[in-house]
Amino acid sequence: MGAPHQVKANGLLYTVVDDCTISYQAVVTGQVTDEIFGDFLEAGLTVTVSWHGLQSKTSTDGLYALAGYPAQAFPQLSSTSYPLTLTLAAPGFRPLTVQVTIPVNATFPVPAPAAALRRLPVRIQGRVVTDAIPHTPVGGVLIHSLPNPSTPTTFVTALRSPLYFSHAGGAAVEAVTLTPIGTAALNANASTGARVLNLSTRSGLAPGVLVQLSTPTAELVEYGLVDSLGPGAPASAGDVFLTNPLNRSYPKTGTVSFFAAALTGPVASLLSDADVGDGVLVATQLFAGPTLVVDVGSPTAEYHEIGALTGSDGFYGFDGMGRVQDILLQANSSPKAVVDWFIEFDQAINLVDFRI
């Protein structure tokens, strides 16, 4: 303890004994960027940390710092390192977890690793009509993505149904051909998120077989990979358990088709990791369709149709649009029905119409 000394304040004389001096300082500093646009210029960035005694400060240009009293937060720093888990979040972006280690005898501030926040995906929808007046709606039109000249080594394939699982960068993507092996009726409604279907027959089904659910005119199509069958003989009615949850709901009256899938190559790979809910694949190759598989042979293998199909009213829709700044879309193979769409991430629904 220090020597006593006197301090005069507000007409009173205080005898003060200094105890100890501690410094409140930045212990971790970092910066986030926007995965697509680079510079981060958004309000509302937050940084939470799983450690007592640290507070965060952020700026609208993505800079942040964690501050505290180092001697209190890390009392054994002369002999022990401390792992911190940071969660970075901002409106319109997916949260990101970052690991930072405070090393033994650290010199503060410790820099955090680079962090690029990923924007939440949006929906692209619209209508296809004839070019000639009265612009009649056109059903059965395939809306698909094209190679983008501005990114010649990056290919973006738009999917009819978003991804069920996350996939690491480098995961294999390959076209498949499907061979029908049976059909069944749904005995009960199949709800979004369900992993079990109750079918009128399970004849032809076994682990690894594909089950297809769709609307009558195929605007919605998705696949479930059979994991196992419920109790009862395979040819009887009963439950079928899937490896993936459903993205959408299907009514009891719907028909379910069974397929065997065969790889047709060549194999492409994802250029970066993919998230659950992504409606595009950013890969080393563009896929023209109609069906592809991601991560075949793994527990997270999943199958998807390529492109969106218009209904009889001419409307179509893509969910999970993100990961890129713009996407080049075409209606059927019409050269005049091509749109280079700059994705508006501040709009939950982007409207893109076509005339053919």
Does residue 298 form part of some domain?
A: yes
* pLDDT score of 194 more than 80: yes
- Do residue 135 and residue 272 come from a single domain? yes
- Do residue 131 and residue 87 come from a single domain? no
Task: State how far the Cα of 44 lies from the Cα of 153, in Å rounded to an integer.
Answer: 34
Mean pLDDT value across residues 306-323: 96
**Residue 100, number of CB atoms within 10 A of its CB:** 19
> How do 55-58 and 96-102 pair as beta strands?
unpaired
What is the chain's mean pLDDT, rounded? 93
Does residue 341 form part of some domain?
A: yes
- Do residue 176 and residue 100 come from a single domain? no
- Do residue 128 and residue 229 come from a single domain? yes
pTM, two decimal places: 0.86
The fraction of the chain above a pLDDT of 70, given in percent, is: 97
Domain final position from 83, 117, 151: 117
Mean pLDDT value across residues 4-20: 75
- Do residue 213 and residue 105 come from a single domain? no
- Do residue 181 and residue 107 come from a single domain? no
Q: Tell me the CA distances in angstroms from 77 to 71, 106, 107, 113, one per residue in order.
A: 8, 7, 11, 21
Any idea what the CATH number is for the domain that residue 44 is in? 2.60.40
Q: Is residue 290 a contact partner of residue 276, using CB atoms and an 8 Å limit?
A: no
User: Of the given ranges (21-25, 128-132, 199-203, 227-231), which has the lowest mean pLDDT?
Assistant: 21-25
Number of domains in the chain: 2
Domain final position from 117, 136, 164: 117
- Do residue 322 and residue 203 come from a single domain? yes
- Do residue 212 and residue 234 come from a single domain? yes
Q: Is residue 170 a contact partner of residue 305, using CB atoms and an 8 Å limit?
A: no
pLDDT at 177: 96
Does residue 9 form part of some domain?
A: no
- Do residue 160 and residue 112 come from a single domain? no
Mean pLDDT value across residues 239-263: 94
**Residue 348, domain extent:** 122-355
Does residue 321 form part of some domain?
A: yes
Does residue 149 form part of some domain?
A: yes
- Do residue 175 and residue 103 come from a single domain? no
- Do residue 285 and residue 202 come from a single domain? yes
- Do residue 162 and residue 47 come from a single domain? no
pLDDT at 130: 95
Does residue 14 form part of some domain?
A: no
pLDDT at 91: 96
